[in-house]
A and B are shown apart, each in its own frame.
Chain A
Amino acid sequence: MTLPLILCLVATVIPVFFGKIGVAPTWLSLQALALGWISITRQSELSVHVLALGLEVLLVRAWLVPTLLRRALAGQSAARQDLMPSNLFAWGVAISLIILAFRFGDGARADVRALTLGVVAATVMIAFLILATNREPAAQLVGLLFMENALALFESLMPEPWPLPVHLAVSGVYILTVAVGSWLVRGHSPAPVAPSALKDMA
């Protein structure tokens, strides 16, 4: 299970340092492929439930949502912008957060569980960093989707997969986030955020 976890981490970290917003759907698909891989291989026996969950991850997270996001970003000037501002300060903060996340995961080399927790925490931290450093709504939407993928990965830490109703609700959140978010940010210039709001967000 280490390989898909590393794939998931790479699909989170690389776009933050080198990726444009327009390429984010591809990275989201990669994250979802890793998630699907983990969902299917984590159980020793393949049950209908596990297969359904894996299929749902692949269909919704790897295909549907990235496609919707790609359509929403098509032709937008925001798509050519960096996902996170390219400067040494932001990069330094990002690297520190990733190291901190793996400390949170109790030492990534210890076992798969610790590595998973580290990847989840790193993805959440990176998502918060995107939200804090980029005022472009399209980038913030990508940050939200990163965060929700991290929450979905958290499921692999549970002794049993979440029941189907919980899964459906969490997938519903993911689909609606991209659907409503795309509608709201389409043709949306950077929002004039009130200073008080910025202070609270930070």
Chain B
Amino acid sequence: MSALASPSSSILTASPDQVAPGTRWVAPALVAVALIVWLASMAVFITHPLAELPLYFAKRYLVLDATSLLFVVLVNTVFLGISVYILSREHSSAVLSHDILSRAGLMLTFMLIINLGVMSNHLILMWALIELSTLCAAPLVARGDAASPKSVAWRYMLYSAMTLSITFLGFMCLAQSAHLRGVDISFAVDQLGQALSTNSDGWQRLGLSFMLFGLGGKLGLAPLYSWMPETYEAAPTSTSALLAAVQFNISVVAVFRILQVFQGFESHFVSQELLLMGYLSLVVAAVQVMAVRNYKRLIAYACVSSSGVIALGLSVGKAAAYGVVLYIVSNAFVKSLLFLTAGRLRAVYGTNDVAPLSGVIRVMPFSGLLFTVGIFALLGFPPFASFLAEMMILSGIVQAGNLMAFTLMCVMLTVIFVATGRTVFPMLWGASRREGPPVHESWIAALPKLGFVFTLIMLGTYTPKPITELLIAVAQSIGG
């Protein structure tokens, strides 16, 4: 394994100032770029009323509609938080300061690709951009300090390529379906619907099932989920947050685009496939959460269960659409909050295992409190947005008359709640084994996490009208 596979001890023990002279400007520059992009996305949100959308540009390859606007704002907000976290960690992490330049470069390229992908109006272009984002993220995953980070990064890349190839097989089946009916097909999102058939068509169904199955793998839905816990655990925490809260959402956009294109076509078939993947994911996540004794892996399995909830909500369609959109938005903040706080825990305790951590709230009062808040938000407690969203999804499932899905979701979420509490609460509130005063925590490290908590509470209690309208518009676009 090369030197990059695991950071050498000399790097780990060296002071940041000695390791990388001349790169102190990188982290502030990263924050500056993230801030500019975030301000630009907010400016677009404020200056473009929903009635004026969609706007096509770059020869109609890119589109600004409610879906792309929501996700551009979301991913850039999360990225701003992650970049501030990196700035705060650079001062205390010699490994990070050693390779900050390449990491920042990869992250910015990744974000550029994600922004283009979210706005893409062409399914094959979006497909290629999702794969490109994976190829940018793989070297970031390989910078983790697991036993063999390159192996993990390779498997992440392999899984991604496989799931996206399955998605591409779906495109091929759609093309074959159109050809057999003598129809020209274009993969532009706003034109693909014209090539679909309202009659039952085997090729079309096969294409749809491949696309949803492949993209389901990118979302961490069972059965193609196993890359997710492994990658999220082994990657550096900032990268885990980037994958869970940013890359996850470009795959969500791809699924939304497919649902938008297929509105009125094969809705029962879509519903059944999503339902099945949702059931499987919730069961898998519940069983794994009971067994896991590693807090990063626990968050990762919670991501699998979140994907299951999203799939169940999408399977219901109209009744739960608003809840699903709110759930996706709140989840991006919950995952970022948890992973970034987990990064602080890892920096102090040097392990991802739960066993050596006890009484975190006494050793690191602020991070311990934020982790507690994050866990409560993850488990769907009020006043966080995830509570409201879960209630809406459950209510939608009941309205749709699917009592099986309702029961399974309630049971599995209860199991996940109990298992998570059993693992995490002693870690947070148990007797501390460390002596000495609490660890000093800088305000700059807390700033992004506080922002995420504020947003979660705001979305769960009082959502400003423009944001509500945007969420409704996205929900309507997927059949809500």
A residues sitting closer than 8 Å to B (CB atoms) are: 113, 117, 120, 124, 127-128, 131, 137, 140, 144, 147, 151, 154, 157-159, 162-163, 165-166, 169-170, 172-173, 176-177, 180-181, 183-188, 191-194, 196-197, 200-201
Contacts and interface: CB of A to CB of B under 8 A. Distances in A.
* A117, A157, A165, most chain B CB atoms within 10 A: A165
A197 to B, nearest CB: 5
B294 interface: no
B380 interface: no
Interface residues of B, number: 44
| Contact residues of A: prevailing secondary structure | helix
A197 B157 contact: no
Contact of A151 (B165, B184, B223): B165
B353 interface: no
Contact of B1 (A120, A144, A170, A188): A188
B113 to A, nearest CB: 9
Contacts of A144: 158, 161
A173 B128 contact: yes
Interface string B433-477: 000000000000000000000000000000000000000000000
Contacts of B257: none
Interface of B: 1-2, 58-59, 61, 122, 124-125, 128-129, 131-132, 135-136, 138-139, 142, 148, 150-151, 153-155, 157-159, 161-162, 165, 168-169, 171-172, 175-176, 179, 184-185, 223-227, 230
A183 B139 CA distance: 9
Contacts of A172: 128, 132
Contact of A162 (B124, B142, B157, B184): B124
| Contact residues of B: prevailing secondary structure | helix
Contact of B157 (A169, A170, A180, A201): A180
Contacts of A180: 135, 138-139, 157
B129 to A, nearest CB: 6
A155 B394 CA distance: 43
Given A154-B172, A165-B61, A166-B128, A197 B135 contact: no
Given A172-B132, A191-B151, A193-B155, 6 more contacts: A117-B172, A124-B165, A154-B172, A162-B124, A170-B128, A188-B150
A191 B156 CA distance: 12
* B128, B151, B223, B225, most chain A CB atoms within 10 A: B128
10 contacts: A113-B179, A127-B165, A131-B162, A137-B154, A172-B128, A176-B132, A177-B157, A180-B157, A184-B157, A188-B154
Contact of A147 (B136, B154, B161, B227): B161
A194 B226 contact: yes
Contacts of B122: 163, 165-166
Contacts of A166: 122, 124-125, 128
Contacts of B131: 173
Contacts of B224: 200
Contacts of B154: 137, 181, 184-185, 188, 191
A170 B155 CA distance: 21
B230 A173 contact: no
A26 to B, nearest CB: 22
